[in-house]
């Protein structure tokens, strides 16, 4: 297992991903000052996002992977929140699936794609107390 979210496991093979990108933002607000550059005020941490991307070759991976992508779409539409866990045991806390992108190419005569590229964008989910969830108190 390379990564898991809410019961979905991403591993080498059928649902493999070839790239994991992590984005961490900081929130700053500029205040105008006459005769100088704006002064910045730090407002705290911003959004944290993880973006997974990969490719499915339908001839090799079959319909089961397509079904998994559809299940992920259903989970995103339902607003599910799940814990992101790496294969090394690192727990990233609750994340919501905010965006799924699907890119089909190499269609056959019947219109079925031979290659499906996909991107999943997860965002850290606040627990409601204004903090990001942690295993530690």
**Residue 137: which pLDDT band, with cuts at 50, 70 and 90?**
very low
pLDDT in tens, 97-120: 999 998 888 888 888 888 888 889
Q: What's the mean pLDDT when you consider all of the chain?
A: 81
Q: What is the pTM of this model?
A: 0.72
CA distance 30 to 42: 9
Nearest to 54 by CA among 90, 8, 85, 109: 8
Pure H helices in 31-126: 58-77
Which pLDDT score is estimated for 89? Answer: 74
pLDDT in tens, 28-61: 999 999 999 999 999 988 888 988 888 877 766 6
Domains along the sequence of the chain with CATH: 3-25+42-124 (2.40.30)
């Amino acid at each position: 297992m390379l990564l898991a979210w809410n019961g979905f496991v991403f591993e080498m093979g059928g649902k493999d991903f070839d790239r994991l990108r992590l984005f961490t933002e900081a929130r700053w607000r500029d205040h105008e000052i006459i005769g100088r550059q704006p002064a910045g005020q730090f407002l705290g941490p911003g959004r944290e996002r993880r973006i997974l991307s990969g490719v499915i070759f339908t001839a090799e991976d079959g319909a089961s992977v397509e079904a998994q992508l559809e299940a992920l779409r259903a989970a995103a539409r339902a607003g599910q929140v799940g814990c992101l866990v790496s294969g090394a045991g690192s727990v990233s806390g609750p994340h919501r699936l905010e965006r799924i992108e699907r890119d089909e190419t190499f269609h056959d005569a019947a219109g079925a794609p031979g290659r499906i590229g996909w991107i999943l964008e997860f965002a850290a989910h606040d627990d409601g107390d204004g903090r990001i969830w942690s295993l530690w108190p």
